Amino acid sequence: ESANSEQRAENLNTSMTAGESVSSRAALVRSTEELIDSLHSLSPPDRAQSLHDEAEEHFGRILVWLTLELQAAETQDNTPLKAANAMIPELRARDFTLKRNLSNLQFIFNIDQ
């Protein structure tokens, strides 16, 4: 996820043509889809199943968010962008919760980062 977040931040700070913006956003959507596919292929241990499910749901919501941003760039319509922006508090909360639960699991299993 951090690679996608870094790429998105870089894209926002870079002056681009409309076509470049669409291309860049489409690449982020594809990258997130690949990440979700990778998550689906994992078989976590029982103690990590709820965290795995939470991660799949979190990244699914990120995919919706990035797709809305892509739609806004493609159509030059602010309606999808407003919907994407409205998701930001939810995404921040999910990110915080996922990281906290990951940290708890690392503590339980005594895993160093």
In tens, the pLDDT along 4-59 reads 778 888 888 888 899 999 999 999 999 999 999 999 999 998 988 999 999 999 99
| Number of domains making up the chain | 1
Residue 39 in domain: yes
- Please, what's the b/e burial string for 19-49 (b: 16 or more CB within 10 A of its CB; e: otherwise)? eebbebbeebbebbeebbeebeeeeeeeebe
The whole-angstrom separation of Cα 70 and Cα 29 is 8
Report the pLDDT value the prediction gives residue 1, as an integer from 0 to 100: 58
Residue 113 in domain: no
CB atoms within 10 A of CB 87: 16
Residue 71 in domain: yes
Residue 23 in domain: yes
Question: CA separation (Å) from 31 to 1, 27, 88, 91, 94?
Answer: 9, 6, 19, 18, 19
The whole-angstrom separation of Cα 55 and Cα 33 is 13
In tens, the pLDDT along 51-106 reads 999 999 999 999 999 999 999 999 999 999 999 999 999 999 999 999 999 998 88
Tokens of 74: 């493609």
**Domain of residue 70, residue span:** 2-108
- Structure pTM? 0.86
Q: Give the alpha-carbon dihedral of 42, 45, 48, 49, to 10 degrees.
A: 70
